[in-house]
Amino acid sequence: MTKINRVIPFLLNNLIWFLLIGIMIFFTLTAENFLTPGNFLNILFNASVLGVMVIGQSFTLLTGNFDLSAESILGLCGLMGIWLITSAGAPYYGSGGELPVWVSILIILSIGVLIGLINGFLITKMKVNNFVVTLAMLITIRGLTLVINNGQTSYSISEAYNWLGLGKIAQVPVPVIVVLVLFALTYIITTYTPFGREIFAIGANRNAAMASGVRPDRRIIQVYMISGLLAAFAGWMLSARLTNAMSSMGKGMIFEVMAAAVIGGISLKGGQGSLIGALGGVLLLTTIGAGLNLMNVSVFWIQVIRGVIILVAMIVEAQKVRYMAPSVNASQKPILASRQPSGD
């Protein structure tokens, strides 16, 4: 391969990082105080909840499935986490149960796993379309969340609970450490374990995976359980950081999660993508948000720009796929692009 042939695929595969660097350069020049460690920590801090959600979503996306219910699991578990440990009535509006923090955490994580299990079961054993199941679950779980506290916000004064959101280890906020560790862990799992390998295979061709000794149903249920667990965990993280939980917490987040995953290179069709890339997607979106904030751009404009970025990322992705499309034996045949290469 000539030098040029090597450079272009490298650029395209790692596009997200070049974009990130480019964006950072841009903001350094246009915004005050961008290039400070404080700002970077802030970015990572804001990225943490989104990051955990994106990790969860990546697991299901890699198998070729969506988990739209994740945002509702975040909402439900974030609310319940506080609700279970807090006194009833004003001023904190908890359940009155006042359970120990660790019990509450255990319960909400279990709920996340349970919902994931139900999702996975409906999708694999009942063979219902994953988009539909998780969409219905999104609506149902959000409904449940609205009912639990009658729409009232719950407040947390428990330091133990809030530690996940507000604590620091050696000056670094806990959420930042957690999200980086989780990304690293997940990267290792997806790239270097049989589980991860099977996930990719299932996403790329579920039937062929099944014919190769993989148990797709089992794996898919497992990834949905992971997604549910991580969504519950993100709920804890977010409500801890805010020290309160509204019943609308996380509503609409699913779009951002999908966007970050896709921008980071996780294919919506499954079987392709990398967790490192997904981390890049999270960082890109968050950095842009932070940078625009520093430039005093209104929150609403930030949302618009975010949408534009998603669009641009998609355009680039579409071009990239076309450029890197595999060529079939030597010369030929655009019309055979939709046919399989056979022993012609």
CB of 69 to other proteins, least distance (A): 10
Q: Return the range that interacts with other proteins (CB under 8 A); candidates 5-13, 14-22, 97-105, 323-331.
A: 323-331
Q: State which of positions 101-130 bind other proteins (CB under 8 A).
A: 122, 126-129
Q: Does 9 sit near other proteins (CB under 8 A)? A: no
Nearer to other proteins, 90 or 330 (CB): 330
Q: Does 10 bind other proteins (CB under 8 A)?
A: no
What minimum distance in Å lies between the beta carbon of 104 and other proteins? 21
Decide: is 255 part of the binding site for other proteins (CB under 8 A). yes
Query: Per CB under 8 A, does 18 bind other proteins?
Result: no
Give 102 or 255: the residue with its C-beta nearer to other proteins.
255
Query: Contact 70/251 with Cβ under 8 angstroms?
Result: no
Question: Which of 278, 258, 254, 255 has the alpha carbon at shortest distance from 71?
Answer: 254
Question: If binding is defined by CB under 8 A, does position 341 make contact with other proteins?
Answer: yes
Q: Are 76 and 144 in contact (CB under 8 A)?
A: yes
Give the up-direction half-sphere exposure of residue 132: CA atoms within 13 A in the CB hemisphere: 7
Site for other proteins (CB under 8 A): which residue of 4, 29, 170, 335?
335
Give the CA angle between residues 31, 45, 14 to the nearest 5°. Answer: 75
Which is nearer to other proteins, 171 or 338 (by Cβ)?
A: 338
Give me the residues paired with residue 245 across strands: 154
Token representation of residue 323: 């450029």
Rounded to the nearest 10 degrees, the angle between the axes of helix 70-85 and helix 130-148 is 20
Q: Which helix (H) or strand (E) holds 168?
A: strand 168-169
HSE, side-chain direction, 13 A CA sphere, residue 298: 3
Least CB distance from residue 36 to other proteins, whole Å? Answer: 28
State the minimum distance, in angstroms, from the CB of residue 145 to other proteins.
9
Distances (CA, A) of 105 to 55, 173, 227, 232, 260: 20, 20, 16, 9, 27
Selected binder of other proteins within 133, 221, 226, 266 (CB under 8 A) = 133
Site for other proteins in 159-218 (CB under 8 A): 188, 192-194, 197-198, 200-201, 204-205, 207-215
Residue 298 near other proteins by CB under 8 A: yes
CA angle 62, 53, 67 (to 5 degrees): 50
Closer Cβ to other proteins, 77 or 174, answer by number: 77
Only segment of 47-55, 96-104, 154-162, 336-344 that touches other proteins (CB under 8 A): 336-344
Q: Tell me if 147 contacts other proteins by CB under 8 A.
A: yes
Closest CA to 156 of 62, 207, 109, 87: 87
Nearer to other proteins, 25 or 147 (CB): 147
